[in-house]
Amino acid sequence: MKKASITETKNHLSRLLDEVKSGTTILIMDRDKPVARLEPVAAEERTNADRIAVLVRDGLAAAPRKRFDVHAFLSRKTVRLPPGVSAVQALLSERESGG
């Protein structure tokens, strides 16, 4: 997300609006504190694919290396913890042991 000061916004509003029209969201800052956001009106109308493309373009997400195989994912063996065992504790123990 691009940031602009109030002064920059005032002096270059037309240029910033052109960027917004092309899909960029701009955070308006006042002394390093966010006060407003300029974003495309059509942002709510984007499809999930459009949203993902914007995230990838902005470097906030990575594009998948290969197509997601739903069948393979759903057919994986599930892990069942014994009753009373915390999944969080199991994860933390595994991290501590380096396993």
Q: Is there a contact between 53 and 67 (Cβ–Cβ < 8 Å)?
A: no
The per-residue pLDDT for range 25-34, each reduced to its tens digit, is: 999 999 999 9
The boundaries of the domain holding residue 91 are 2-97
**Phi and psi, residue 31, nearest 5°:** 55, 50
pLDDT of residue 25: 92
Specify the DSSP class assigned to residue 42.
Answer: G
User: 39, 35, 32: which is closest to 54 by C-alpha?
Assistant: 39
Q: What is the pLDDT of residues 31-46, one digit of tens each?
A: 999 999 998 876 556 6
Count structural domains, the chain: 1
